[in-house]
Amino acid sequence: MRRSALLLLAAFILAGATACSIKLEASVSPSVSPSPSASGVPAVPGKTQNEIFGLAWDSSETFNPILLKNKYNRELSPLVYEGLFALDEHFEPVGALCQSYTVSGLTYTLNLRRDVVFHDGSAFTAKDAVYSLELARGETSPYAPHLKSVSEVRAKDPYVLEITLSAPQARLPALLNIPMIKDGSGGQSFPPGTGPFAPKITGDDALLLENTKWWQKKTLPIKRIQLVTGKDTGMLIYDFEADLIGLMSVDSTGTNPIGLRGDCEAWEYPTTTMQYIGFNTKRAPLNNAAVRRAIGYAVDRQSITANVMLGRAAKSALPVPPSSPLFSAELGEQYAYNLSRLSSLLYEAGISDSDSDGVLDYHAGWRRAPLSLTLAVNSENAFKTKAAYMIGESLKQIGVTLTVRELKWSDYQKALSSGDFDLYYGETMLSCDFSLDFLLHTRTGGQGALNYGNYSSAATDSLLAAFRQTGGAQAAYALYADVAQQAPIVPVLFKTSSVYTHRGQIRGISSVQDNLYYDMSGWTVSP
């Protein structure tokens, strides 16, 4: 993780056929904590024991972690709830409430930990896991797309869970970081969880207190968290600047990013949010893979990440974050910014300046036509727009005219859905199984929902299926090599996100995409 200190100005802005067994070790260290109550939640500690640490939440929204969509409540969820697996800094699954598992064909058998209790003191069992996963499969849950290949979930015995799939999904564990709650508690405001903190709500006073029955038994640097309700963005900014809130996450390169005043520190962490160029593969000359591949060499990723994204991104010519073990630097470098290679590939595809007017042209039926393209971009995001213009300038240097179409979000969506574009600058968050079906698969049966360029390839579909079957680096490499050669999309970068704290207040933050408080026991907190 890269850590940078910033002084900011104010601004209102993703199974093999052979059975296998996997043992998952959790790191457990001794803890020193206040005397527990019967529920495992200590009495409210006094400020002599620790200072209050504030975090934002929305009291008007549900705190059911499987259904909630509110940003701030979702960010609080890992403090109260845990999944069968957690994701590490490389987006790889590590055991949490699941201690080990086996895979046989389309069936995953998960052995659950036997030392886990909920905040109310009741034992966590397979029955609770079944309830949680079934709730997560519901159409109103944001986790539903992750479980679309799950056909059945059942408790084989109190501590053994079986998940049966309708199709291979080798990286299923990476999608099982879904919060577990107590059986039947989905209608409660704060369903019982198993995490390091438990809620204590008294009237308008909302606290998260250390869970002294937490199975991980790690010493936490904070025992008590005050939940601060923010009515709007402006109030949350005020609360942070007034030190009522000690930590905030910010997408610094999003649309209208939040700006914070005062002496702050930013702690960066990688995400699976990919920015990329998409092509209309049914329009000449972009129906030629060589032309699409050539245009990819006009993407100066180093310059875009450093100068446009202000360093809050990692360049990638492959559809996987560089921090993932599936990433191949050697393969990615083959498709780095190279205008000479761009010109050569276009010439080999029959595109040249045949009339010496400084503009490349190509065979369009019986005549030569200038290579003049449009690139649609959402005008409401200044970072994407600037990146689009930078790519246009690179193409201009070798005689390709690229017109950037700045469109409001609704118009941008309409253009993509109707195929009214040559190229588009897109952004999407990949699931941590790193499936690309939704981007590359033929747009049938709910797959390929974002395949706006109408790309269709039996070879690519076979490679997508092979990756779903094995989930390994070899299958990933073959798929990424095919994507780079066929270029239905050209990846540009993967965004990073930021956790902001007051300077000097916290040390050792190691956030991951789905858990700002990952390895919180490694923090050092100053009063």
Give the Cα separation of 473 and 331 in Å (integer): 12
For 446-479, the pLDDT digits (tens) are 457 899 999 999 999 999 999 999 999 999 999 9
- What's the confidence (pLDDT) of residue 444? 54
321 contacts 308 by C-beta, under 8 angstroms: no
SS3 292: helix
Q: Find the mean pLDDT for residues 15-31.
A: 37
Reported as half-sphere exposure (CB side, CA atoms, 13 A), residue 230 has a value of: 21
Q: Looking at the predicted structure, is the pLDDT value of residue 361 above 80?
A: yes
Q: What are 88's two structure tokens?
A: 């590490």
- What's the confidence (pLDDT) of residue 62? 81
Distance of CA 86 to the CA centre of its chain: 13
Whole-model pTM: value is 0.89
SS3 301: helix
CA neighbor of 14 nearest in space, from 274, 197, 202, 249: 274
CA neighbor of 428 nearest in space, from 479, 489, 344, 477: 489
Beta strands in 68-185 (DSSP E): 85-87, 93-95, 98-104, 107-112, 150-157, 160-165
For 184-220, the pLDDT digits (tens) are 999 998 999 999 999 998 877 899 999 999 999 999 9
Give the Cα separation of 108 and 471 in Å (integer): 15
- What's the confidence (pLDDT) of residue 258? 80
Tell whether the torsion through CA atoms of 179, 183, 188 and 193 is positive or negative.
negative
Give the Cα separation of 101 and 22 in Å (integer): 5
Give the Cα separation of 303 and 318 in Å (integer): 17
CA neighbor of 341 nearest in space, from 394, 284, 393: 394
For 79-106, the pLDDT digits (tens) are 999 999 999 999 999 999 999 999 999 9
Q: What are 487's two structure tokens?
A: 């270029």
pLDDT, mean over the chain: 88
- More confident: 176 or 20: 176
Q: What are 235's two structure tokens?
A: 């109030």
Q: Find the mean pLDDT for residues 38-52.
A: 46
